[in-house]
Structure 1
Amino acid sequence: MQSHADIIVTHGRVLTMDAARPRAEALAIAGNTILAIGSTAEIAAWRGPATRVIDAQGGTVLPGFNEGHLHLFTGSAELEQLHLFGVKGFEALSAAVRRFAAERPDEPLLIGQSADYTILSDTHRVTRHDLDRIIAERPFIMFAPDHHTAWANTAALEFGGVLQGRRLGPGNEIVMAEDGLAAGELREMEAFQPVIERGASGARERLGLSTGGEPDPAPSPAERARDRATIRRGLAYCASLGITSLQNMDGNFYQLDLIDELAQAGDFLCRARVPFHFKSFMDLDALDKAEAMRERYASERLRSGFVKLFIDGVLDGWTAVMVEDYADRPGWRGEPLFPAERFDAIATEADRRGLQIAVHAIGDGAVRMVLDGYAAARRANGPRDSRHRIEHIEVIHPDDIPRFAELGVVASMQPPHPPGSMGLPLEPTVSRIGEARWPHAYAWNTLRAAGARMVFATDWPVSPLDPIGSIQAAMVRQPWKPGLPDHRQTLMQALASYTAESAHVEFMETRKGRLLPGLLADVVVLGGDLEATEAEALHTVRPVATICDGVMTFGG
């Protein structure tokens, strides 16, 4: 047994996230493993001449945050794009876009992010003509925060070959104007992908979402080096926020290979799990690739082994699938990306192969379809500890709430997403949902009370990546009107959904997610006491050190 620790964290308020011993003052690390947990005096006995000591100075010490749903490559690329969160009105948008364009004179496609649906006004939908008034001579496209709707100027629509419209698959739309040309609004991936493919990166960062395939043609060495640098920047950002594990929600071999190349070069920053993304045009034998990804990448640092799908879109674009009509669009319930029978077959085959499944489902109709597919898989293959997931669940029908516990399905929720949270406007989302469905929207505590296991995440870059900000959003959320359910979370509920529960959903609960001797040394040290901080001020408590696999990845 090792006689001395490599790292000691002392004088902390250690929250182990383990019910048997929930609190301590210090911990010792040897190699990539937690050696001991105890009082400051007890852990001091492990100190040797080469031991690195981190004095937490009374700050909270936690298992490293496990971001349960993000898009690493896309978010990393967007760190250098135009950010429009909080921009409101034509003049403010115009100033931001023109300033960004002037700073990047050689960029073939200018891209903006987090443009609110009501960025120009609460009633006006952006058109290409609006954007042409700002910048007409260079292609410009901007995305809504949910990344499911984009608005492009005429130059960008021509650049991508979609100004005249084109035939798209279910759930995708190029909104057309009365003049027979594209109005500028592009809904869902197939509509805006032809535009963003013309950018400097060739949209390689989005391949894990758009096609699930590999770059074709293969990137040049310079392009591959650029992509590695992009992902490294994103991983370093994760580490700076106390994140030690991430569960990506799009994927292909290319992303896995790039992350592995960084780690092999000694640039390890964060554990990652990357799925195979199954698209609607694929045959069932495409799951062979998912199995190949699982076999090639199965270490504790980098793994695959699950399948991600989208079954619907988003509420604000009327592309989420609802059980009943949209409140503000009678006669329309959305169009699923897979017919129910086909999704049942995909879920059944993936489950038969022992692959975990994670499905984006926002509307209550989509959630029901996914639950039905998981039930079909169970009938065909028999029950097992599959831990299949549903991502987002922004509206759920009350009849489907108990099915999560019955089927062992994990609810993957995003605290920053409810309208009114973290600066998001209420409209148009609450009107899309309709007041009758408000009690079952973003229903965290209702699902918990029914026995559902729950993980929290941000869906970065849809929402800011900061786990502490997300935890704050979970704790301070307010009902949209008196009498609606109170879905505020306790601090310990939110922390568990970012640590122990997030480890459980990826079948790693015996290796991480808690601070216990013998578990992996994934630790975040905060520069303040979370329990002594008012919920509204949690965002002021920042990580001062992040340790992943016994490696100092930030601060210290």
Structure 2
Amino acid sequence: MSRHSADLAVLGATVHTLDADRPRATAVALRGGTIVAVGDDAEVRAMCDARTRIVDGTGTVVTPGLTDGHIHPVTGMMMTQGVDLSGCRTPGQLRAALAEERRSGGGRARDGWLLGFGLDPNALGGSAPHRRLIDDVLDGAPALLTLFDGHAALASTRALELAGVTGPVGFPDSTAQVVCDPDGHPTGELREEPAKSLVERAVPEPDADELAAGLRTLMARMNATGLTGGHAMDLRDGGLPALRALEEQDAVTMRLRFAPWCQPGTGEEGLRELVALQGTGGRLWKVDGVKLFMDGTIDNGTAWLHEPDCHGESTRPFWLPPEKYARAVRALAGAGVPTATHAIGDAAVSYALDQLAPLGATPSGARHRIEHIETAPDELIRKFAASGVAASMQPSHAQYTLADHSDNWSTRLGDERADRAFRCGDLLRAGALLVLGSDWPIAHFDAREVLASARLRRPPHEPGRVPVRPEQALGAAEALHAMTVAPAQVAGEGDRAGRVRVGHRADLTVFAADPLTVPATELADILVRMTVVDGRVVHEAG
């Protein structure tokens, strides 16, 4: 093959380049991980020879490769061990699911532990999580059930015993909590990561080989939905060995940009370690950022709101005092590290913005960013757009709320604040840089579902569901931009990624229908014909 010819070319397609200089084309050619031609069939065919793989793209639509702006591939692999409880709607269904899992085992338990994930607090019948809801159906087995948002868990009596958790535990640097009854006995509810980890450390974890095999399968499943990359908001213990093992096998099939966590209590030495970790990586993955938390979640009463929720909760930041967060962010930014801050409540978002806005972009061009932004008044929307800080949001999270405000999230906030839910449209129209993602495993990673949810404001496969604040819906082109161009821009890579343009990375998603014209109600089900990462076909239908 000539060194100037293409390795792969797609001809006869509709190509949405998202490049203002040439927004439409019919063909694209790739060589050595780079786009080398974009144009009509004749222009691109001139880049081909007898050894070029030529794909007949008739009837297909090519877009820049989709990137999930917020996923948890490593933590998600850990979290999704066990039984999926997301389908439980009542305490009875929860108990039945656990009893069946205990009887069958399902091959998912580890050393006798029963693990579960995806538990919606709305399934608890209005009660707070408590071990008495589950103990009697476990036959003495230790159980740890992670709630749907990943910020809380319910441990059984035996699990607490094995972990040595017998009463209140102090967390002086954060609002994490081992919830206890008036007599000081743990109820089993564990709020936020420091409390969850007390029991998690007693659960046997998969070894590096198991984790690597799981990540390989996970990436293949993500590729099949059109994903070519993701901004990974964690890097747990075991993640680096697993990724290095996959690198040796040339088995990493997504561009993954990792931001390890910086938890309250992290001192100067810990910050130096996080800075030193930057740049670690391989051909398609690297550590490039740090994830911090300004608050928890509304559903668990651990968000930071200007006014308390209906239970008098969600009144404090996760970092105590919040000035410690500000110092950590400034130290990281001073070392050139881009940060991502989890902030859900209005007070959390406002405080984080005040700290991040003066910092500007990093030397690499990467933006500091805020994740989730679940409820925000008008003045905060204006403040956000003026800050230059990127807004990272997950439209699929609306599935955990209801338009009539009868769900736990809305009830805690009250009507006025619930009406400020997930203001993707307002942030975009105000001029903020909006990045969309799934937050898998909190919601499904299917990129088509994320795009559809952004347009529908309801789960795409529930046509009878009333949309949550439909005026916040995005247009088809806006949603696609937020999963292609915007992730590249927030990473400081807008000059080489996110568009179908000569010289850009050869990351493409090839659909069997046009994501810009297909009805939003059908978008989640259109076939992904091909996914190309770094010029290599990593998924091909049929």
Do structure 1's residue 134 and structure 2's residue 137 form an aligned pair? yes
- Determine the C-alpha separation between the residues in 1 that align with 2:520 and 2:473: 11
2:19–2:499 contact (8 Å) kept in structure 1: yes
**1:297-446 map, 5 Å:** 297=281, 301-326=284-309, 328-330=310-312, 333-375=315-357, 377=359, 387-419=367-399, 427-446=407-426
Do structure 1's residue 496 and structure 2's residue 481 form an aligned pair? yes
With over 3 angstroms needed to count, the CA separation of the structure-2 counterparts of 1:50 and 1:77, relative to structure 1, is farther
Do structure 1's residue 282 and structure 2's residue 305 form an aligned pair? no
**What's 2:53 paired with?**
52
TM superposition shift of 1:184: 2.2
2:114–2:142 contact (8 Å) kept in structure 1: yes
TM superposition shift of 1:466: 0.7
TM superposition shift of 1:332: 5.5
Matched AA of 1:311: M
SS in 2 for 1:20: coil
Which moved further from structure 2: 450-459 or 82-91? Answer: 82-91
Q: Where does structure 2 lack aligned partners over 5 or more consecutive residues?
A: 460-464
**1:116-131 map, 5 Å:** 116-121=120-125, 123-131=126-134
With over 3 angstroms needed to count, the CA separation of the structure-2 counterparts of 1:481 and 1:435, relative to structure 1, is farther
Do structure 1's residue 154 and structure 2's residue 157 form an aligned pair? yes
Which moved further from structure 2: 335-344 or 131-140? Answer: 335-344
SS in 1 for 2:70: strand
1:351–1:386 contact (8 Å) kept in structure 2: no
Which moved further from structure 2: 137-146 or 487-496? Answer: 137-146
With over 3 angstroms needed to count, the CA separation of the structure-2 counterparts of 1:547 and 1:483, relative to structure 1, is closer
- Determine the C-alpha separation between the residues in 1 that align with 2:307 and 2:429: 25
Provide the TM-score with structure 2 as the length reference.
0.90
With over 3 angstroms needed to count, the CA separation of the structure-2 counterparts of 1:440 and 1:125, relative to structure 1, is same
With over 3 angstroms needed to count, the CA separation of the structure-2 counterparts of 1:236 and 1:305, relative to structure 1, is same
- Determine the C-alpha separation between the residues in 2 that align with 1:118 and 1:140: 20
SS in 1 for 2:482: helix
1:455–1:502 contact (8 Å) kept in structure 2: yes
**What's 1:449 paired with?**
429
- Determine the C-alpha separation between the residues in 2 that align with 1:512 and 1:134: 52
Q: Where does structure 1 lack aligned partners over 5 or more consecutive residues?
A: 203-222
- Determine the C-alpha separation between the residues in 1 that align with 2:113 and 2:283: 38
Do structure 1's residue 272 and structure 2's residue 252 form an aligned pair? no
**1:542-553 map, 5 Å:** 542-553=527-538
- Determine the C-alpha separation between the residues in 2 that align with 1:236 and 1:482: 31
- Determine the C-alpha separation between the residues in 2 that align with 1:37 and 1:383: 31
2:118–2:148 contact (8 Å) kept in structure 1: yes
1:311–1:361 contact (8 Å) kept in structure 2: yes
**Percent identity (aligned):** 30
- Determine the C-alpha separation between the residues in 2 that align with 1:466 and 1:244: 12
Which moved further from structure 2: 66-75 or 247-256? Answer: 247-256
- 1:199 pairs, out of 181, 203, 208, with 203
With over 3 angstroms needed to count, the CA separation of the structure-2 counterparts of 1:344 and 1:72, relative to structure 1, is same
With over 3 angstroms needed to count, the CA separation of the structure-2 counterparts of 1:483 and 1:133, relative to structure 1, is closer
2:398–2:468 contact (8 Å) kept in structure 1: no
**1:454-493 map, 5 Å:** 454-477=434-457, 486-493=471-478
Matched AA of 1:11: G
Aligned residues: 531
**1:63-142 map, 5 Å:** 63-101=64-102, 102=104, 103-104=106-107, 107-121=111-125, 123-142=126-145
**What's 1:224 paired with?**
208
Matched AA of 1:374: L
1:33–1:550 contact (8 Å) kept in structure 2: yes
- Determine the C-alpha separation between the residues in 2 that align with 1:136 and 1:185: 20
- Determine the C-alpha separation between the residues in 1 that align with 2:336 and 2:269: 15
1:305–1:356 contact (8 Å) kept in structure 2: yes
- Determine the C-alpha separation between the residues in 2 that align with 1:377 and 1:17: 29
Which moved further from structure 2: 268-277 or 515-524? Answer: 268-277
With over 3 angstroms needed to count, the CA separation of the structure-2 counterparts of 1:463 and 1:36, relative to structure 1, is same
SS in 1 for 2:350: helix
- 2:227 pairs, out of 233, 243, 260, with 243
SS in 1 for 2:278: helix
Provide the TM-score with structure 1 as the length reference.
0.88
With over 3 angstroms needed to count, the CA separation of the structure-2 counterparts of 1:421 and 1:45, relative to structure 1, is farther
With over 3 angstroms needed to count, the CA separation of the structure-2 counterparts of 1:382 and 1:141, relative to structure 1, is closer
- Determine the C-alpha separation between the residues in 2 that align with 1:459 and 1:237: 16
TM superposition shift of 1:376: 5.5
- 1:190 pairs, out of 185, 189, 194, with 194
Show CA shifts across 1:296-324 (max 9, x none).
Answer: 44x66222231210111000011000012
- Determine the C-alpha separation between the residues in 1 that align with 2:362 and 2:489: 21
**What's 2:5 paired with?**
4
SS in 1 for 2:435: strand
1:8–1:28 contact (8 Å) kept in structure 2: yes
TM superposition shift of 1:13: 2.0
TM superposition shift of 1:530: 2.1
With over 3 angstroms needed to count, the CA separation of the structure-2 counterparts of 1:426 and 1:23, relative to structure 1, is farther
**What's 2:243 paired with?**
259
Matched AA of 2:198: P
1:141–1:153 contact (8 Å) kept in structure 2: yes
SS in 2 for 1:411: strand
With over 3 angstroms needed to count, the CA separation of the structure-2 counterparts of 1:483 and 1:152, relative to structure 1, is closer
2:75–2:235 contact (8 Å) kept in structure 1: no
With over 3 angstroms needed to count, the CA separation of the structure-2 counterparts of 1:106 and 1:34, relative to structure 1, is closer
1:421–1:473 contact (8 Å) kept in structure 2: no
TM superposition shift of 1:80: 4.4
1:136–1:154 contact (8 Å) kept in structure 2: no
1:56–1:527 contact (8 Å) kept in structure 2: no
TM superposition shift of 1:50: 2.4
